[in-house]
A and B are shown apart, each in its own frame.
Chain A
Amino acid sequence: MDELTDFFQTILNHIDAIKAYLDDIPLTEYTDEDKCLARLMFAFGVVGPAVEIFRTQRVPDSGATSFTMTLDTDIA
């Protein structure tokens, strides 16, 4: 949990600059480095609920549940 929190805080400290940078580039014209940065941001969005909302790695009381999500669209 400490690592997740560190990651979350580190991205959060730079998030406005990252968004401003990526927003200036069309989604279809990302370089590999841009894609890497975008995916770091998506990871931030995934760990965010654990860090801020639930304050634990696993969603409380969800022990018996398994669920898979598939995103059909992604950065090119």
Chain B
Amino acid sequence: MFAPFMMNAWIVATMVAVVAGVVGFFVVMRGSAFVADAVPQGAFAGAAGASLIGVNALVGLSVFALAGALGIGLLGRRGRHDVATALTLVLMLGLGALFLSFTTQYSSEIFALLFGEVLGISSAEILPVALLGLVCVAAIAVLYRPLLLSSLAPESGAARGVSAARMELAFLVVVALATAMTLPVVGALLIFSLMIGPPAAARALTSSPLRAMALSVVIAVVLAWVSIALSYQSDWPVGFFVGVGGAVCYALGRGWAAWSGSRGSSPGRPARAGSPGPSPAEPESPEPAAAGTA
């Protein structure tokens, strides 16, 4: 499992998990799961286009991810945000279908791009992934305060001169970059499990933003490592372990929050997750805990 040809997989997966944990924290915080889902899926079409004209797949991924993010941002300014996201996504996927129909020898690569392939990572691919990852983490570090403010309290952010629209666009670009680097490793359909499961679990466990972000990184890295190890042992696709593992993380986090809440020791909220009462979802949703820290 730790043979030389696997070292690249471990290194890249770790970087990917760190970035997914950091970016994913804001994805969960802003409730933009759909965007974090749509950008990778749409970017997948970019890889198909890149192979068609014979350039590096990472370039195609980056271009399409950025175009998708900007499209969502611009279309979403007027009209409904989820509609804009859905339409941008299907447009990119439609283009992907068109590109795929132009080539013949792509079918096996598609499966890898959709569901992840860690074993095929060469040493030459590490550097671009590392650079993109650094850019993402640096961007989040620079944007941390205003982004947090505009995620939690857009109005007070606007009052302090933090434009919600501009923050949204900046955030979308970061998601796009994170997507481009993560996609070849865990696959278009499942990056997003890595971006959502761990941060959601982390937020159920702590209400302090910084601690939640650190925890989310730790969970994401552990999830990625466990997934690769299991995938190596069983020869099953990595995506399966990441996807199901992300849901398990979330369930465990919710279960923990409910359990500690019922004991009355949780400082944040009187949570009763899973009790299907007729009352609205206030106690079940993760919002109040985080809003309290704003």
Q: Is chain B found bound to chain A in the same assembly? A: no
